[in-house]
Every structure is written in C-alpha cells, then in structure tokens.
A and B are shown apart, each in its own frame.
Chain A
Amino acid sequence: MNGISPSREHLVVVGNGMAGMRTVEELKARAPSRYRITVFGAEPYANYNRIALSAVLAGDKSLDDIVINPRAWYEENGLDLIAGDPVLKLDPVTKTVTSVGGRVARYDRLLLAVGSKPIAPPIPGVNLPGVRAFRDIADVEAMIDAATHRKRAVVIGGGLLGLEAAWGLKRRGMSVAVVHLMTTLMERQLDEPAAHLLQHELDSRGIAFFTNGQTEEIYGTDRVEGVRLADGREVPADFVVLAIGVRPNVALAKQAGLNINRGIVVGDDMRTSDPAVYAVGECIEHNGQTFGLVAPLWEQAKVCAARLAGDAAAVYVPQPVFTSLKITGIDVFSAGALTAADADDDEITLHDAKRGKYKKLVMRGDRVIGAVLYGDVADGTWYLQLMRHSNDIAMIRDRLIFGRAFAEQALGRNEAEMDVAVMPESEQVCGCNGVNQGKIRATIAAKHLTTLDQVRAHTKASASCGQCTPIVRAILAQTVGGAAPAEKAAAMCGCTEFGHDEVRKAIVARGLRTQADARRELGWKNADGCQKCRPALNYYLLCAWPGEYRDDSRSRFVNERVHANIQKDGTYSVVPRMWGGVTTPRELRAIADAAEKHGIPTVKVTGGQRIDMLGARKDQLPGIWADLNQAGLVSGHAYGKALRTVKTCVGSEWCRFGTQDSTGLGIKIEKMCWGSYTPHKVKLAVSGCPRNCAEATIKDLGVVCIEAGYDIMVGGNGGVTVRVTDKLVRVTTEAEVLEYVGAFLQLYREEAHYLERTAPWIERHGIEYLKRLLVDDAENRRALYARFLYSQRFWQTDPWAERAAGADAHEYAALETVG
C-alpha cells in the first residue's frame, strides 16, 4: 500500500522531534499518500516525549515509557527515518540537504523542525567535563550517571527546567543547590508570593538556593569542582546543570540565507522566507514571538500539515498557554499575565500562607487575562478556558477566585461536566500531547474506554504533565457517564466490562431509557443480560427515570416479581405492613381470619415488628391479599430491595424515659418511605431515648430521640457483619428528620451499587462525604428530598391490591395438568 509512485513530491523533514513528527502525523491523517517523506534526526532515537525527560530523571518513568512514535510507526507510515545523522547543510537553490554522514536528499518541500538549543552562558568553564544541559536523552543519561557517581550538583537557572532538574537529582540522592540570577524563582511564570511558597517548599525538601546569584565562573582543573558567583560566593559541585534557557536553533536556516531573527521567521502559513521551506516548533519566530512549550506547537503542526496538504486557508493564531511544574507534590499553574499592567487591570488574590495555597487572577475589566495558582491548581484549566474564550465573568466575579464549582453554583450549574459538554471538538485539552476534545471523545467511544489510565494509554491525553487530568476525567465521565475511577472498577457481571458506577452515570448522562438501549449503547456481550445485571439495570433505570421507565418484571427476582417471599419448599410468606410496628385489633383479626380461611400453616412475629404468614401457595396469594386489603393492610415489601420496616419503641407516649414521640415519628417516616425501591433492603428505626430499644444504631438509618431533638444515625446493619451507625447530624424538628431521611435515601438510591447496603456504601465514601452532601449543602439536601418525594408519587400504590384486582394474573394461576 505504500507503493512509491515516482511522481509523488518529496517532503524532507529535518528534526525528528515533537513538532516535526506531529506535523507528519497530521499530514498523514489529511493526505496519506501525497508525499514521499524522509525524516532526518540528529538524535539516534525515534520521536520521544521530551517533556517526560523530567519524569525519567526523577525516576517516575523509564525511557521506554516516553516513546511517542516507535520505529514501527515510521515503517507503517512509509517514512524513511534517518536517525543519528544530523543535517549539516541546506541549499535552497538546488533544493537539497546534506547530512553529516554525507547523505544528500533533494526535496520538493522542506520542513525545518530543529527545536532549540540550550543557552550556554559566556563564562569560563562551561566546557569542563561534568557540565551538562538538560535537553535530550543523552543529557538525562549523563545526569543519572552523575547521580550514581557524584555527590553535589549545582543547577544554574531557577526556571521550570532548572527546578525539575534539581528535584530529579535530589530524588536520585545528590545534594543539590540552585543558583538563580533573579530574586525569585520562575519569575516569568510566577509572581512573588507564589515564588516564595515554591522556594519555601523546595527548601524544606532539602534543595539549597542562591538567588540574586550571577554565575561568574565554573571552576575546576580536569573536571568541574564548583561554581563561583559574582559576589564572591562559591558553591562546590562535582556536577553542574545549565538551565538558563533555550534559543531557537537557527544554524541551518541562517547558513541557507533564510530570513531569521531570534528564530526562523515564519508567516501565519508556517512558511519561511523560502516558499518551499516550512518551519514549526521551538526553532521558529512568529509575529515576534518564540515558543518554549508544546501546546502552541500542536497548532502550528496542524496548520503546517493543512498547508502541505493543499489547504490554502489554514492560518496559525497563537492561543494563551499555561505552564505547570512537574514536581511531585508541588502544584503550580500559571497562564497569561502575571500582574496588572495598568490602571485598567486589577488583581484578585487569595493567600493562605499556612496551608501553602495561593491564587491570583489578573483581570482586565470583566475578563480574566492571567492566573497564577500555587497549591490548589484544580481550577487552572478552567481559568485558562475563560481566558481563551475571553468570557465575561461579571456574574461570577465575587466567586471566581474560589474556583469553578463555587462560581458556577451562582449560575445555577455545578457540574464540571457542563462545560465539557459544550466544549468544541477542536478545543485542545491536553497541551502536552496536543489532544483535542473530539479525539478523546471519539477514542473513548471507539475503544470503549472506561478508565483514566486507558484514556491516557490510547490518546496520550493527560499522560505528560497531568495538568489536564480533571478535564480528561470530566470528558470521560461525560462520554461513558462514569466518574472515571482511577483504577478499573470491577465489572458488573460477565456481560460487560463496565462497573456499576459507570453504568449508572451512563444511564443518566446518555439518557438511556430502556434496558435494551443501555445494553446496546454500552456494548453488552449478551443481548438479554443475565440474572446479575438485569435486576441491577432494571433498578438503575427505575431510579433514574421515575414515572417514565416501565418496570420489567422479568428482571425481578421471583420475590419481587410475585410480591411475596419464596420459601425452601416453593411456598410463599405474606408480611403485611404494620406502620411503625403499631397494629389494631381489627388488623389482627383480619390476619387471623385470613390465616384460618386460607389454611396458613405458620403465623409468626418477625424480627421487624410485624406478622408473617408462612406457607401460602402461590395461587392463594391474590385471595389472601384481597382479604388483608379489606382491613386496610398493604404489602410490607418484606420481599423487596425496598423499604422494609421502620421499627419504633413506645417513646414519650407511654415510656417513663421517652423524650419524643418515637412511635408517631416512625409511622410518619414509614408513610413517607414505603414503596420505594432501593439498591438493597433498607431498614429504619426510631428510638425514644438513648436506651435505644428500637436498635436504631444498627439500622440503615436510625433516629435516636433526645431532649434537645433528634440524632440521625446512618449506615448500620445487623447480619453477618454487624455495623453500628455513624452520626450524620442532630436536628431539632420532625420536619427536619423527614427531610434528612428522604434526602439520605435518595442519595443512597442514586449512588449505591445494586445489592450494596448502606453500610458498605458509606464505608466506600466515608461519612464525611455524606455530611458534605447532606448537611453542609442544604440546597442539595432539599433537591434530593424533592426527588425522593417525586419518585414516591409513582411507587406508593399497593402492589397487592393491584394483583388482587387481577394484575399479572398469569403469575398466580394454578398449574395446568396435562397428560
């Protein structure tokens, strides 16, 4: 398929680095066979992720981990790779390049992507053995070698690269000092307060700093022995890293007579002064600007590829970029303006020195034009978006500095997902790897990805500096619908790879309204599902779409399908509701009558404060129910993943210790909650005082009454592993109790996994999580409560009465006798 047709134009690429190969990738995607392509690279490697050299140095990654395009990629794409043989000469007249090794290639078009060169200060000693830059694999290998054989390193330059080098060497056991010319670190990205926090942190990690330090000389006889500063200070060292900056690599272009300034000058079309020669990456200068971060390179690559493919309309428009520092445990984010430039600008700051957090936004009118964040950078990408889109933030100005979640509440939205939903496909998400929103989404869908790690593996998004992780996570969540877990959650069953959370979220996010839709959309392996996932899906759908989803009896366990508990001999038991454990002579009489009339072999008081009639044949059920209904008795849902009982004690009505009307409150709660289906069974109780006769502290939700009000306890159960409740909150009125009960149950209904009781669910999240959502956030609590009540409108019909009146008659029909 890569048959070379001689008529194809020849594209020669000089520079086998990040910008060059990205351009080739883009070109291959647009015009796969338009050019025959030859790539010259000075380094003897395939294209790798230069950014990740810091991670290799720090020991977090291996060299194998950082390859972007393996050699096989060059082969598959029919590229001729000449690695390890730099181009020495460019002749625009004959349209040829000549390599150090003597290879000559004639081009029709040439792409220069030769990156930049570390700046070597004009001081004595820079060429001594033991002095290195930090730019490529060879440098990193030298640094790792130094860390094993030498003791003291000095890094000259306290910018991003210098600090990452210092940290990596420190991590590898060297004692490290940083010499920096300016008063504060990373002065181009950080303002003073942020720089101080940063220095303080690195200081506490054992890195020494010499700020205001002008290096005058690197001294030593056979190899480096130390660094001498202009003010006379001397810093001994047996290894020195130069990290004072980079300069566009213009040597070839200059020699060929192309127009150069600081970099190789290109127009909006990425062409140099020679129309057959294009240039991208750190070697260029566009509109007076040079580049040192990868994000703008991806745009350049795209425009350049479009031009090479014949699209005459593609133009390069620079976008604001951000910087982040890749040192474990230090979160720094910086984009745009560092400080207010004039009277039109102003700054909003938030400085919590004790917790080491700092935020500054630079504003021009009602637009954000700069952001510096230290310690808490989660909102960095959001601020960057506001900058890129030049959004008017007047509405949220007073909340802006506290971050997106808080600010957007003011706009009536609080889902981080909202914005990824409206984010244009072309919007770049991962600056390091140049991955846009559309590509992430498409890959997630095509490859059925469900975890962040998978998305990283398949798209490279968030695989480098990690800054965009929250957005990638949000896109993942929005696409599959799951808050993407860090690790792959256990699959629901053998029919799917998805875990419960992912499925739940997908149902809501993608508006899946039937089981068939859900199974199809989520790529279920079995069309019918199985006995494990069907009941779960059925529940998730009825929870998500109250009043809309039609319950599927075929996905219900027999007990829930026939509304009675199957017993070991295939007969059933009947447990009518006794509200709060209170009954009347009339109800008791009705039970007694029904038991006699239908020949019920056993009548028993249950552990849940009501009466069980055991041993009924299936075909007897509708008749028994009809009789019980006559006395006002309804289903107790003893068979359901549903609200079971609300046990109570006698309370203040009768008990000499009772503080509140526990019985009355229990009845109110049961009347509010009966009929609701839940992930697992739910049992409640109300005790009238801390003696706790209703065993409220081992219930899913228990209320313990006290003189001052009500303690609401959650997450208990009996069973094999007894768990005592955690205290959620203390309230003073019954109305508040009801609100909390409804909200708690709804949260459990919406978030737990099917067949997960409240105890393990709460253990998964921690009680603090519930407190945040239910206690601290009153609005959320009320919204949950409202959703609970809404859902209850559809479920508070007695299933027994419906069936006594003839619903599902075939279920209860007597056997047919044949033969």
Chain B
Amino acid sequence: MGALTQHTWIDLGAAGDVPRLGARKFRLGNETVAVFRTSADEYFAVIDRCPHKGGPLSEGIVSGRTVACPLHGWVIALDNGRAVAPDEGCATTLPLRLVRGRLHLGLRCKGAA
C-alpha cells in the first residue's frame, strides 16, 4: 500500500514528552491527534475520537497495544485502530515514525501519488 503513498512528515516534538502508558494530544486543523506510548516504548498516532461515541481515547488506560476508551470502555487497538470484539468500529490511525528521539507524524500529501 505504502509504495504509492507519499507523506509529508511533521515534527511533533520529543518522544520522551509522551508519558509511558499514556498519551499526548496535538491539534491538527479541526482534529485532535493522540500520540500513545506503550510500556515497550512503541508510539502510535490515532485521531482522538472513539468509534463508539467520539470519546477522547487519549484519556483512556493504555495496556499492551490497546487503549480503553474512558466513556464506555471500548478497547481500541492502537496499531490498526480497530475496536476489540465484541465491539465493532475503527478509529483512524496515522503513520508515525521516530527520528533521533523525535516524533514525526506522516500526512498524506495531496497531489503526490
């Protein structure tokens, strides 16, 4: 999939600023992006909106590669945004990479491809 997609990368800041087993929020236009950090120091970027009723995922409890939404407890996989069964739905994930200790968020750039 990635071969044809071109990204521009935005520097979000130092990875170390995101608390372990927690998240930080970044405003991007009208959206809020939550960057999560797992106990194994993996980082994931997800639009901060629960597929259920829009709850702020960034406030949820992180464990393994999941976060539990604070409003009604749906569990969302951080790597692909999918709600863990029995719930159904998908949060939007965004590409994220770690460059020399800094977080770079990938945005699809129009017109490239």
**Interface with B: A48-56, A394-402, A496-504, A527-535, which one?**
A527-535
Contact with A along B42-80 (1 / 0, CB 8 A): 000000000001011001111110101011010100000
Is A818's CB under 8 angstroms from B26's CB?
Answer: yes
B61: which A residues are within 8 A, CB to CB? 530-531, 534-535, 554-555, 557
B75: which A residues are within 8 A, CB to CB? 531
Task: Tell me if A816 is interfacial: C-beta within 8 Å of chain B.
Answer: yes
Known: A815-B26, A816-B26. A557 touches B70 (CB 8 A): yes
Closest A residue to B107 by CB, please name it.
Answer: A819
Closest B residue to A568 by CB, please name it.
Answer: B71
- Output the least CB separation between A769 and chain B (Å): 32
Closest A residue to B68 by CB, please name it.
Answer: A531
B107: which A residues are within 8 A, CB to CB? 819
Tell which of B25, B56, B59, B73 touches A816, judged by Cβ atoms closer than 8 Å. Answer: B25
Task: Tell me if B95 is interfacial: C-beta within 8 Å of chain A.
Answer: no
Contact with A along B12-25 (1 / 0, CB 8 A): 11000101111011
B10: which A residues are within 8 A, CB to CB? 818-819
Tell which of B20, B38, B59, B64 touches A566, judged by Cβ atoms closer than 8 Å. Answer: B59
State the CA gap A322–B20 with chains docked (Å). 59
State the CA gap A815–B31 with chains docked (Å). 11
State the CA gap A569–B27 with chains docked (Å). 17
Q: Which residues in window 514-540 of A have CB below 8 A to B?
A: 526-531, 534-535
- Residues of B in contact with A (beta carbons under 8 Å apart): 10, 12-13, 17, 19-22, 24-29, 32-33, 38-39, 53, 55-56, 59-64, 66, 68, 70-71, 73, 75, 105, 107
Closest B residue to A535 by CB, please name it.
Answer: B61
Is B55's CB under 8 angstroms from A815's CB?
Answer: no
Is A570's CB under 8 angstroms from B27's CB?
Answer: no
Is B22's CB under 8 angstroms from A554's CB?
Answer: yes
Is A531's CB under 8 angstroms from B63's CB?
Answer: yes
State the CA gap A555–B28 with chains docked (Å). 28
Is B28's CB under 8 angstroms from A818's CB?
Answer: yes
State the CA gap A538–B55 with chains docked (Å). 24
Q: Which residues in window 553-607 of A have CB below 8 A to B?
A: 554-555, 557-559, 561-562, 566, 568, 570
Is A528's CB under 8 angstroms from B70's CB?
Answer: no
Known: A818-B105, A819-B107. A531 touches B60 (CB 8 A): yes
A562: which B residues are within 8 A, CB to CB? 59
Q: Which residues in window 762-819 of A have CB below 8 A to B?
A: 810, 815-819
B21: which A residues are within 8 A, CB to CB? 528, 554
Please report the number of residue pairs spanning A and B whose Cβ atoms sit closer than 8 angstroms: 78
A554: which B residues are within 8 A, CB to CB? 19-22, 61-62
Closest A residue to B38 by CB, please name it.
Answer: A528
- Residues of A in contact with B (beta carbons under 8 Å apart): 526-531, 534-535, 554-555, 557-559, 561-562, 566, 568, 570, 810, 815-819
B25: which A residues are within 8 A, CB to CB? 815-816
Is B19's CB under 8 angstroms from A558's CB?
Answer: no
- Output the least CB separation between B107 and chain A (Å): 7
Closest A residue to B33 by CB, please name it.
Answer: A818
- Output the least CB separation between A186 and chain B (Å): 60
A555: which B residues are within 8 A, CB to CB? 61
- Output the least CB separation between B88 and chain A (Å): 19
Is B63's CB under 8 angstroms from A526's CB?
Answer: yes
Is B70's CB under 8 angstroms from A566's CB?
Answer: yes
Closest 6 CB pairs of A and B: A531-B68, A528-B63, A558-B59, A531-B61, A554-B21, A558-B70
- Output the least CB separation between B28 and chain A (Å): 5
State the CA gap A817–B107 with chains docked (Å). 15
Known: A570-B56, A818-B10. A534 touches B63 (CB 8 A): yes
Closest A residue to B72 by CB, please name it.
Answer: A568
State the CA gap A554–B39 with chains docked (Å). 11
State the CA gap A819–B56 with chains docked (Å). 20
A529: which B residues are within 8 A, CB to CB? 63
Is A531's CB under 8 angstroms from B26's CB?
Answer: no
Closest A residue to B21 by CB, please name it.
Answer: A554
Known: A531-B68, A531-B75, A557-B70. A817 touches B26 (CB 8 A): yes
Known: A557-B70, A566-B71, A810-B19. A528 touches B27 (CB 8 A): no
A817: which B residues are within 8 A, CB to CB? 26-28
- Output the least CB separation between B70 and chain A (Å): 4
- Output the least CB separation between B31 and chain A (Å): 9
State the CA gap A527–B56 with chains docked (Å). 25
Tell which of B39, B55, B64 touches A570, judged by Cβ atoms closer than 8 Å. Answer: B55
Chosen A-B contacts, 24 in total, with CB atoms closer than 8 Å, are: A526-B64, A527-B64, A528-B39, A528-B63, A529-B63, A531-B61, A531-B73, A534-B63, A554-B19, A554-B20, A554-B22, A555-B61, A557-B70, A558-B59, A558-B70, A566-B59, A570-B55, A810-B17, A810-B19, A816-B12, A816-B24, A817-B28, A818-B27, A819-B10
- Output the least CB separation between B36 and chain A (Å): 12
State the CA gap A534–B64 with chains docked (Å). 12
State the CA gap A720–B24 with chains docked (Å). 36
B71: which A residues are within 8 A, CB to CB? 566, 568
